[in-house]
Amino acid sequence: MSKKVVIAISVVFSVVVLAGLGVLIWWLVTDSDSNEIVTIILEGDGFENVTYTAAFTRIPATGEIFWWFFPSKAGISKPILLFLGSITGLPHSFLLNFGEIGPLDFDLNARNDSLVNDYSLLFVDGIVGTGFSKSEEKQDSINVDKLVDNLVQVLQSFYNINGNYSDAPLYIYEQGDGSHLAVPLTIRLTNDENYKNKLKGLFLGNPIIAPALVLTKLGLYLEELAMIDGDGRIVTEEFSNSVNSLVSEQKLEEAFDQFITLGSVINNNAGSIAANLGRIVEKLTPESERDYFGQNLYYERVVPSNIDMKRFMETVIAPSLGISGNVNYDESRNSTLYALRSIYMENYVDKVEQILNSTSVTVTIFNGNLDAVANTPGQLEWINNLKWPGNTEFTEAARQTLIINKQIEGYFRESSRLNFYWINVAGQSTLLDNPVATKKMLERITRLS
């Protein structure tokens, strides 16, 4: 077993740190009956020329949550981007890290355009049972408040070890249904004296905030793209009305079960043929696994054909990090999703309003124009009608063109607290489909440019 550092997060530790003694207690990790939250720092052989900290935060009666921090090459004052993980998507510690923005690609070669050049990156497998995070026991239901509690403990672990980053601005970045973690965590942190001055912004890409409401504009969206005709629009709107009725009756699990059949309804009943709703210009093939709106096609486009996620993370990455024993990467994704069915269709608009009304955090929402599930007309339906004092300032702000290297990559509307970016030629993941536009957005909002 690789040696690991275990740091007890306790009152005693806090007193020691405040006293400036900087004492860390080292011992080999063994089965422990302790009820304390501990941080297990992983000490594997690592990766050539890559600086990082990887660790588990062990939370009693919950499990161990994995996090992986890459400090910015530009110094400790640069913003920290916090990635929390999503409900249905592939773990950020795998796809977002190696496939899109981390310091290494799948061949473990340096990525020249990694975000680590300008930002510090903190990846968290935020839901136990996903990624490297492990649950103590099977979970039949998961409470959002408990998920947020866990994430706060992870941040406490992170800052206890990386105290020199305490003054770096913190931004939460999530896409899709990762918003179900990002939005309530933002609210919690802004009510915590330890974090409210650290947290500067929230980035939500193609967010699942009001999925049933957004669905009401899908028929319009698809008909305008000539993916369906008028009869297909009627079918789509009947489906939308049915889902919305279930949500209004608070039958959220039934609403979710119906919502995830959307691709079948559009392709088999509304007249579209093999449309990938996650990236509408792509066609599904008979071999494509139609899982959560074409997410596996994203996997196929970004991940080399010789890379199997579980094998890669369990046999290559885990040993390099110093994770020993029986490693089962992303072992409980399906059961975790089942346990979260009751929250997926919840409307989070009021929580976004709470952030805008009660905090100083900047909210930036961005949407890929090729994502039909989180279609842009549906997103703007709730964004333009948010109830907060800056609504008029936002809706009356000029819509500007995002031009990069003489190419129109999208459009944006910015105000003092709320921003919206239209990202061209992008589906569910704008970082994958249009990284140039997404990185420019990050630069503008974090004031790097």
Q: Which tens digits make up the pLDDT trace of 252-295?
A: 999 999 999 999 999 999 999 888 898 898 887 665 545 566 66
What are the angstrom distances between the C-alpha of 68 and each of 37, 147, 272, 321?
A: 18, 18, 42, 10
Could you read off the pLDDT of 108-117 as tens digits, one per residue? 999 999 999 9
The stretch 185-202 carries a mean pLDDT of 96
| Between residues 325 and 400, the one the model is more confident about | 400
Give the CATH H-level superfamily of domain 37-448: Alpha/Beta hydrolase fold, catalytic domain (3.40.50.1820)
φ/ψ (deg, to 5) at 138: -60, 140
Confidence of residue 27 (pLDDT cuts 50, 70, 90): very low
Q: What is the mean pLDDT of the chain?
A: 89
DSSP 66-106: EEEEE--TT-TTSPEEEE---SSS--TTTHHIIIIISSB-T
CA gap 289, 309 in Å, rounded: 16
pLDDT tens readout for residues 307-350: 999 999 999 999 999 998 889 999 888 888 888 888 899 999 99
**How does residue 305 score in pLDDT terms, banded at 50, 70 and 90?**
confident
Contact 68, 109 (CB under 8 A): no
Determine how many CB atoms are found less than 10 A away from the CB of residue 281.
12
- Residue carrying structure tokens 């302790």: 34
| Band of pLDDT at residue 29, cut at 50, 70 and 90 | very low
The reported pLDDT for the residue numbered 30 is 34
| pLDDT of 294 | 63
Residue 441 pLDDT > 50: yes
Task: Report the chain's terminal Cα–Cα distance, integer Å.
Answer: 46
At 90 the pLDDT is 87
Residue 6's pLDDT band (cuts 50, 70, 90): very low
> Is 185 a residue whose pLDDT tops 70?
yes
Of 80-84, 165-169, 333-337, 385-389, the range with the lowest mean pLDDT is 333-337
Of residues 408 and 5, more confidence is placed in 408
Q: Where do the domains of the chain lie?
A: 1-34, 37-448
Give the pLDDT confidence score for residue 89 in this predicted structure. 81
- 7 phi and psi, to 5 degrees? -115, 115
Query: Cβ distance 127 to 107 under 8 Å?
Result: no
pLDDT at 21 over 60: no
Comparing 140-154, 349-363, 381-395, the range with the smallest average pLDDT is 140-154
Residue spans of alpha helices (H) in 281-330: 295-302, 309-312, 318-321
Does residue 37 surpass a pLDDT of 90? no
Q: Are strands 407-414 and 400-404 parallel, antiparallel or unpaired?
A: antiparallel
Amino acid 442: pLDDT: 98
Helix, strand, coil proportions of the chain in percent (round to 5)? Answer: 40, 20, 45
Distance CA 231, CA 266 (A): 11
For the cut 70, the answer to whether the pLDDT of residue 405 exceeds it is yes
